[in-house]
Amino acid sequence: MKSIFKNRKISSIVSIVPKEEYRFDDEYPIFKLTPDKAKRFKKMMSLDRHRIAAPDVCSSDLCQYGLQHLLNEGTLKKEEIGALIFVSQTPDYIIPPTSNVIQGKLSLGREMICLDINQGCSGFLLGLIQAFLLLEIAALPKVVLLNGDTCSKQIDKCNRISYPLTGDAGSVTVIERCETENPIYADVKNDGSRHKAIMIPAGGYRTPSTPETLKLREVEEGVIQSQQHFHMDGAAIFSFTMEDVPPQIDEILAFSGDTRESIEHFLFHQPNPFILKQMADKMRIPPEKLPNNVVSLYGNCSSVTIPLNIALNYREPLLQGSRRVCLSGFGVGLSWISMVMNLGPLDVCKIVEYEST
Our finding on whether 105 is near other proteins (CB under 8 A) is no
- The count of chain residues that interact with other proteins, using the rule CB under 8 A, is 21
CB of 237 to other proteins, least distance (A): 8
CA dist 319 and 350 (Å) reads 10
115 or 280: whose CB is closer to other proteins?
A: 280
**Up-side HSE of residue 229: CA atoms within 13 Å toward CB?**
21
* Selected range binding other proteins among 80-88, 99-107, 272-280, 321-329, rule: CB under 8 A: 272-280
**How buried is 132 (Cβ within 10 angstroms: 0-12 exposed, 13-18 middle, 19+ buried)?**
buried
Torsion angles phi and psi, residue 188, rounded to 5: -120, 130
Our finding on whether 158 is near other proteins (CB under 8 A) is no
Pair 52, 212: CB distance under 8 Å: no
133 or 232: whose CB is closer to other proteins?
A: 232
Binding mask 209-248 for other proteins (x = CB under 8 A): -----------xx-x---------xxxx-xx--xx-----
Among 75, 213, 278, 342, binds other proteins (CB under 8 A): 278
Residues with Cβ within 8 Å of 25's Cβ and at least 6 positions away in sequence, in order, are 42
| Segment 289 to 348, residues that bind other proteins, using CB under 8 A | none
118 or 239: whose CB is closer to other proteins?
A: 239
List, as one string, the DSSP characters of 106-129.
TT--SSSEEEEE--STTHHHHHHH
| Segment 22 to 51, residues that bind other proteins, using CB under 8 A | 37, 40-41, 44
Residues with Cβ within 8 Å of 247's Cβ and at least 6 positions away in sequence, in order, are none
- How far is residue 227 from each of residues 49, 112, 208, measured CA to CA in Å? 27, 38, 10
Residues within the interface to other proteins (CB under 8 A): 37, 40-41, 44, 161, 220-221, 223, 233-236, 238-239, 242-243, 274-275, 278, 281-282
